[in-house]
């Protein structure tokens, strides 16, 4: 009999338990790889090539930093970028920031 598994193997070789996720289960490299390999909006885009979640996160951060609103502190900048892509950690594929934040602890 095959035991049920509910985990994702990460680039670092670590496993992310999907039934009991732990924000400490992955490395920064795992997160960067996941965000760079996951298309935003499931790949639907008006452009020839869709944006990855990582590209979208950095684009939103650049727009926010260039706006006339008060500047971002380093923690605010990190939060702005993280809220765009938290769901791709471990290939979870969520495109909704609130759902991603609840799963990843961001």
- Could you report the per-residue pLDDT of 32-84, keeping only the tens digit for each? 898 888 888 888 888 888 889 888 888 888 888 888 888 888 888 888 777 65
Tokens representing 6 are 């509910």
Quote the CA–CA distance of 16 and 59 in Å, as a whole number.
28
Pick the most confident of 2-6, 17-21, 82-86: 17-21
Whole-structure pTM value: 0.57
Question: What pLDDT score was predicted for residue 85?
Answer: 54
Question: pLDDT-derived band of residue 93, with 50, 70 and 90 as boundaries?
Answer: very low
Q: What DSSP state is assigned to residue 37?
A: S
Write the CA distances from 78 to 5, 6, 74, integer angstroms. 33, 29, 6
Question: What pLDDT score was predicted for residue 78?
Answer: 80
Report which of 78, 77, 53 is spatially closest to residue 67, judged by C-alpha positions.
77
Report which of 72, 98, 74, 92 is spatially closest to residue 31, judged by C-alpha positions.
92
């Amino acid at each position: 009999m095959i035991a049920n598994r509910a985990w994702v193997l990460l680039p670092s070789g670590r496993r992310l338990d999907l039934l009991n996720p732990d924000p400490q289960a992955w490395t920064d490299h795992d997160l960067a790889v996941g965000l760079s390999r996951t298309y935003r909006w499931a790949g639907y885009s008006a452009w020839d090539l869709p944006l990855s979640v990582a590209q979208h996160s950095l684009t939103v951060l650049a727009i926010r930093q260039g706006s006339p609103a008060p500047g971002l502190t380093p923690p605010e900048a990190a939060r702005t970028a993280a809220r765009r892509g938290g769901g791709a950690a471990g290939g979870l594929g969520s495109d909704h920031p609130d759902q991603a934040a609840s799963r990843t602890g961001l």
